[in-house]
């Protein structure tokens, strides 16, 4: 996030593009809930990010207390309220390449109907939280695979964001370890997952001291 606000234009643009690629799905979820039509939501999402990149809008994130989450939500609200027609035309050929999202990802989201009774803001923030959790999970999987722990990851990953105990005897037998060792392994994995999640959250705040505040909010979101 700090790099995205850099006075160096190339560094700022590259960093902002990376943030957008990582966190476009909450924006899509918001627009999908607001507009209802999947194809329209896809077009508007790409047009929105094209505009953000073109205008270098990350500087305005500071007005939202330095949280990229708040910046994106405020920006997409303004976009839908004031610039839909112009940015749709821009997407069709306005000279700015939209964010590249794989077709398979779009198709997976397009078949998900908006949840009944869920506001666009709730859809955005829940998808934001899920995106961060998925990213942290992917980071941990990469870390453990690199150190030969892929079997432990597969066995324990379903229990990383739950306080429920897994079937330790069964998992321990499959991993050829005793039950106490399995308990310690899961405890350590939860600690590593927490560290990876903090790293992800840190990337979305300008002020590192706000990391814990944002993390608490993330946990609250997922508990609703």
Q: What is the pLDDT of residues 138-185, one digit of tens each?
A: 999 999 999 999 999 999 999 998 888 899 999 999 999 999 999 999
pLDDT tens digits, residue range 16-37? Answer: 666 667 778 899 999 988 887 7
User: Taking the CB of residue 194, how many other CB atoms lie within 10 A of it?
Assistant: 15
Query: What ranges do the domains of the chain cover?
Result: 1-114, 119-224
Instruction: Give me the numbers of helices (H) and strands (E) for the chain, helices first please.
Output: 10, 0
Cβ pair 154, 117 in contact under 8 A: no
Q: pTM for this structure?
A: 0.76
pLDDT above 70: residue 197: yes
Cβ pair 29, 115 in contact under 8 A: no
pLDDT above 80: residue 210: yes
């Amino acid at each position: 996030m700090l790099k995205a606000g850099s006075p160096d234009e190339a560094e700022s643009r590259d960093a902002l593009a990376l943030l957008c690629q990582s966190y476009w799905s909450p924006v899509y979820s918001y627009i999908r809930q607001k507009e209802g039509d999947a194809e329209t939501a896809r077009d508007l999402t790409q047009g929105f990010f094209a505009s953000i990149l073109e205008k270098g809008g990350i500087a305005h994130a500071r007005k939202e207390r330095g949280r990229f989450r708040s910046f994106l939500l405020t920006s997409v609200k303004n976009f839908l309220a004031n610039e839909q027609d112009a940015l749709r035309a821009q997407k069709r050929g306005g000279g700015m390449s939209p964010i590249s999202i794989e077709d398979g990802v779009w198709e997976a989201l397009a078949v998900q109907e908006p949840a009944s009774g869920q506001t666009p803001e709730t859809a955005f923030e829940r998808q934001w939280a899920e995106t961060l959790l998925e990213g942290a999970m992917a980071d941990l999987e990469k870390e453990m695979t690199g150190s030969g722990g892929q079997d432990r990851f597969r066995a324990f990953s379903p229990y990383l964001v739950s306080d429920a105990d897994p079937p330790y005897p069964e998992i321990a037998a499959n991993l050829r370890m005793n039950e106490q060792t399995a308990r310690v392994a899961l405890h350590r994995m939860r600690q590593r997952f927490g560290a990876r999640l903090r790293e992800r959250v840190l990337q979305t705040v300008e002020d590192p001291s706000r990391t814990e505040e944002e993390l608490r909010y993330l946990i609250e979101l997922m508990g609703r």
